[in-house]
Amino acid sequence: MEKYLGKNGYPRKMLKGKRLGLVCLILLGVILRFWGLTRLSLWCDESEALFLGRLSIQEMLRFISRQDAHPPLFYLLIHGMLKVGETDGWLRVLPALAGSLCLPVAWSLARRLAGEKEAFYLIMFLAVSPVHILWSQVVKSYTLFTLLGLLSSLFFFQCLSEEEFRWRLALFWGNLLLLYLHHYSIFFLASQFLTLLWLKKFDRRWMIFYFLIFVFWIPWLIVIPYQLSYTGGIIRRLPQVLRLPYFLFYTVLGETVSPFNPTVVLPAAASAITGWFFGFVKLRCLLPRETRIFFLFLLLLPLAAIPFRSTLPQNLVPFTIFWYLLLALGLREKMKRPFLFMALVTMIFSDIYYFTGRASQFHDVSRLAPIKEIAEELSRRTRSDDIIVINEERKFAQGKPISIFDHYYRGNIPVLSFRPESGPLEQLDNILVGYNRVWLLQIHAGEPVWNKQLRQYFQDRFLCEESSQYLENERWLQTIRTGQREFYPYVTLDLFTRKIE
């Protein structure tokens, strides 16, 4: 009889079917993370990564220590990649690859935490997770942060069960890389530390271990107060009372389903609340004590960051995996399978909205801004007596201007970035001398009054020959607060010609 059974007591044919299903899910997740990697223009934060990557290492460290919220590791990796190429596809390979590797590592960790069945369900959620797919296609550190966090957690479990030096060494480097990658990695280290204290396993060797991590972290630790003073000036307009619900919404549906879309939101809420409720209720009987303590710390500790105004949901992306595992624990029974599949279907709807670019569903429509297409059009259509005026912030590295528009524009005419801090509009009178046509490209991400004044300046002095509007966007917070819906074009492009006296 034993020859027909696998290691876990399941029939060998059943085990082969499960393994095949797991491989197919991982392959699906990888395809979704690489699918259409270059279809969208660079996003504003990606342009910032491009700017920092082009700086010398000394200039980069000086800049991010005063004007950025993150440690330097990710930007150092981008700095190295830029020596090979700077196409969108090449730069986005790093997050896509990290996001893909998260799948087998998450399965391995979940299998260790909860078992094969729950690990399989977790990969079902993770493969189609809108959050993880989106951030696998953006030049940001979140998927790499997730991968290192999962590896660190896996190494920690190995250290608890085995006393081999190699696992503690792997955990040391994993934790150190995490600290130099993202500040919220402190929640991974804190979960490990508190688990050791709770289980009464914090001995002299662990004390030396954490002391060495602290020593190696000191070079960046002394910079953090300066970064905190920078992030302290950042204002997130989402009311405090909505931050935790929004994080839970974000965990399941990401940022590509409108909260005003009841067809998707209500089934997602019903399945998630059901799964999380039963997951918490059954946690004590489903997980051994050692595992349960660590899992709860990873689940709940990061929530402490949500009230801080500098916290965005994407800062907690690595910890969404543990909420997926809680969902898998809660919906593992056959009678609750409808809720499991309902959660999966709503996630897939969010993926469809993302890949089809459904602007009405995006929380941040700037991701869909067609700057690449506009820049390519202007590269073809501009003449020698034209000038392009943009309201996008422009930075310079190694003598080259860096903005999303500059990244794609291949024409030869001058490009002028004019913003509120540039000075009074009247100084444009001298700048525009000698130019008969002006292309005005405006991104309406803020400062609506000033943007109207800028456009009015050109209307008063030039004739508007063409006017194009892109991406109708809704002011969601205003809708939530007042109940009145207001829409505006996110990007506008106008062609002005000089009036003939």
The pLDDT score that the predictor gives to residue 14 is 53
Maximum separation of any 2 CA atoms in the chain, in Å: 99
For the ranges 2-11, 312-321, 332-341, 390-399, the lowest mean pLDDT is seen at 2-11
Model confidence at 286: pLDDT above 50: yes
Helices (H) and strands (E) in the chain, counts: 23, 7
Q: Model pTM greater than 0.85?
A: yes
| Percentage above 90 pLDDT, the chain | 78
For the ranges 283-292, 299-308, 406-415, 487-496, the lowest mean pLDDT is seen at 283-292
Model confidence at 280: pLDDT above 50: yes
pLDDT in tens, 163-212: 789 999 999 999 999 999 999 999 999 999 999 999 999 999 999 999 99
| Percentage above 70 pLDDT, the chain | 94
Binned at pLDDT 50, 70 and 90, residue 234 comes out as low
Burial group, residue 9, by CB count within 10 angstroms (0-12, 13-18, 19+): exposed
Could you tell me if 390 and 441 are in contact, meaning their C-beta atoms sit under 8 angstroms apart?
A: yes
DSSP-based three-state secondary structure for 344: helix
Triad 51, 417, 230: Cα angle to 5°: 50
| CATH 3.40.50 given to domain 369-498 | yes
The ranges assigned to domains in the chain are: 94-364, 369-498
- Provide φ and ψ at 437, rounded to 5°: -130, 140
The pLDDT of 280-306, averaged and rounded, is 92
Q: Which residues contact 355 (CB under 8 A, 6 or more apart)?
A: 35, 36
pLDDT in tens, 349-390: 999 999 999 999 999 999 999 999 999 999 999 999 999 999
Specify the DSSP class assigned to residue 499: P
Q: Which residues contact 339 (CB under 8 A, 6 or more apart)?
A: 270, 271, 274, 275, 331
Model confidence at 5: pLDDT above 50: no
C-alpha 495/C-alpha 440 separation (Å) is 6
The pLDDT score that the predictor gives to residue 1 is 44
- 260 token code pair: 């005003």
Q: Residue 195: which of 166, 160, 161, 171 has the closest Cα?
A: 160
The pLDDT score that the predictor gives to residue 499 is 77
| Residue linked to tokens 């201007």 | 401
The pLDDT score that the predictor gives to residue 282 is 87
Burial group, residue 384, by CB count within 10 angstroms (0-12, 13-18, 19+): exposed
Triad 216, 155, 214: Cα angle to 5°: 15
Between residues 382 and 333, the one the model is more confident about: 382
The pLDDT score that the predictor gives to residue 236 is 64
DSSP-based three-state secondary structure for 78: helix
CA distances from 302 to 247, 382, 501 (A): 11, 51, 65
For the ranges 68-77, 283-292, 452-461, the lowest mean pLDDT is seen at 283-292
Specify the DSSP class assigned to residue 365: G
Could you tell me if 55 and 400 are in contact, meaning their C-beta atoms sit under 8 angstroms apart?
A: no
Binned at pLDDT 50, 70 and 90, residue 335 comes out as confident
C-alpha 401/C-alpha 51 separation (Å) is 9
Binned at pLDDT 50, 70 and 90, residue 480 comes out as low
Could you tell me if 184 and 305 are in contact, meaning their C-beta atoms sit under 8 angstroms apart?
A: yes
